[in-house]
Amino acid sequence: MIYKCASAESFDRFDLGDIEIAEVGLLRASLSTIGDRMVGGVSLRSKRAVVCGETGASSCASAMAVSSLVSASPLKPSTTNGSSVSVKSMAGVAPKKHGSYVEKGHLTTCISAMRAHSPSRFRSLHTEAPEAFNVEAASYSAWLEKHPSALNSFDKVAKLAKSKQVVVFLDYDGTLSPIVENPDRAFMSDEMRATVKELATCFPTAIISGRARAKVYDFVQLSELYYAGSHGMDIMGPAKSSSGYKVSGTRVKDKKGNDVVFFQPASEYLPVVDKVCSILNEITKTIKGSRVEHNKYCVSVHFRLVKEELWESLATKVQNVLKDYPMLRLTHGRKVLEVRPAIAWDKGKAVNYLLNSLGFADSDDVLPVYIGDDRTDEDAFQLLNGMKHACSILVSNSPKSTKASLSLREPAEVMDFLRRLVHWKKWGPEKRNGFQNGRYFIS
């Protein structure tokens, strides 16, 4: 296959037109010009190797290259022998943990997972079933002891951040915007946007989302941030962050002439993801309330508005489709099934990529802060757990199994926490403003 380099579209519209062609071409150009130079902490050759699309004899070479990426420590870059790796099947790659039930055909596991991640309505229990509410409240308190509030623990976070470069990673849905029934209407407030904008003047800041990058950009509308859409498979951001950091990686110019960096490890999956998205649209038509959302390298099948008795039927349909596409895998989030390329790439890998691109590979002087609410954020929490210093925060108002250390209840608390970070950076701990009734106020 021959790739040509096209000129870059505007920053937020990089998904459109033939930019996919351009990016692969640029990635290959980078391979030939810089050889095994490390970009983002993993050699470009090995990253290229995780891109796949067809079955064939070289699957072994590809799988070997991929397994080197899988087995590498998140902070210890994988290396290759420098030979060019062909782009072949990923069918031989071991699926990740969330996807394993697809291959095993364990439908019940899938349904249990769907239920487990769709908790009961915590607040309405208060009036509808006070006893159950008390039990839930008690279990939440017990859970809070293990995952204390990041607001109440702010002094500890600030102590940890002292003399370090803080880098902030934010999930979008359920973290910056409240969960709503219609995914198209998951708007973040102007207040939150202003907070994130200010945050980015203090620290390199990235949005790490399951959504298509262009879609999440449309919601956030801040060009100074880094965006990793499609669960980290579509990364782009300014070559120089508004907090002053230069970022390494493949560069192009946007329409305004600004340098941007980008990385898309799953670009060759586009045709198969498109195809499966159309099939899923078709086969879910009969399931009332279901909704299929194309997230470029991933597809979301929403069941928030589907009656619970139909969940099993929906999951069966999705799983049956995926039997014919072993190069895709299934994960799940909050009332959503997520179909994505079965490559060793996730939100954790995207965070690692960005940290390395910012020059913080294996650094003792960085404090990554990651805030997210969903299953797919656990990969990022896991990465942070392997780092010397890190601050991982789960957004949840009910007890959940998580690798995060701290917690926040809802997006409003996320905003308070981010404001405190900004204020700490600008004024230090001494001139702190008021913290009342669980909310932080900057006068």
Ligand X SMILES: O=P(O)(O)OC[C@H]1O[C@H](O[C@H]2O[C@H](CO)[C@@H](O)[C@H](O)[C@H]2O)[C@H](O)[C@@H](O)[C@@H]1O
- Catalog residues that contact ligand X under the rule CB under 6 A: 171-174, 179-181, 183, 186, 209-211, 293, 295, 300, 302, 304, 333-336, 338, 374, 376
Do the beta carbons of residue 336 and residue 299 sit within 8 Å?
no
Q: Which is nearer to ligand X, 27 or 321 (CB)?
A: 321
Give 210 or 368: the residue with its C-beta nearer to ligand X.
210
271 φ/ψ angles, rounded to the nearest 5 degrees = -60, -45
Structure tokens belonging to residue 377:
């954020």
Q: Between residues 27 and 350, which has the closer beta carbon with respect to ligand X?
A: 350
Centre a 10 Å sphere on the Cβ of residue 212 and count the other Cβ atoms it contains. Answer: 21
238 vs 260: CA distance, rounded Å: 4
What gap in Å lies between CA 420 and CA 152, rounded to an integer?
11
Report the residue number, 211 or 400, with the smaller CB distance to ligand X. 211
- CB of 66 or CB of 343, closer to ligand X: 343
How many of the other CB atoms lie within 10 Å of CB of 61? 15
Closer to ligand X at the Cβ: 77 or 372? 372
For ligand X, which is the closer residue by CB, 195 or 295?
Answer: 295
Shortest distance, CB of residue 13 to ligand X, whole angstroms? 19
The residue (of 26 and 113) whose beta carbon lies closer to ligand X is 113
Smallest separation, CB 201 to ligand X (Å): 23
Measured distance CA(79)–CA(183) in Å, rounded? 40
Min. distance of Cβ 287 from ligand X in angstroms?
A: 15
Find the shortest distance in angstroms from Cβ 90 to ligand X.
21
Residues 6 or more apart from 285 whose CB is under 8 A from it? none
Is 211 or 420 the residue whose CB approaches ligand X more closely?
A: 211
Shortest CB 246 distance to ligand X, Å: 27
Q: In the complex, what is the shortest distance from the CB of residue 89 to ligand X, in angstroms, rounded to a whole number?
A: 26
Closer by beta carbon to ligand X, 136 or else 293 = 293
- Quote the least distance from Cβ 305 to ligand X, whole Å: 8
CB of 380 to ligand X, least distance (A): 10
Q: Considering the complex, what minimum distance in angstroms separates the CB of residue 399 from ligand X?
A: 19
In whole angstroms, how close is the CB of 187 to ligand X at the nearest point?
10
Distance (Å, whole) CA 306 – CA 299: 17
Residue 198 contacts residue 243 (beta carbons within 8 Å): no
Q: Of 170 and 239, which has the nearer Cβ to ligand X?
A: 170
Nearest distance from C-beta of residue 180 to ligand X, angstroms: 4
402, 406, 410, 416 alpha-carbon torsion, rounded to 10°: -160
Instruction: Locate 200 and state its tokens.
Output: 């980015």
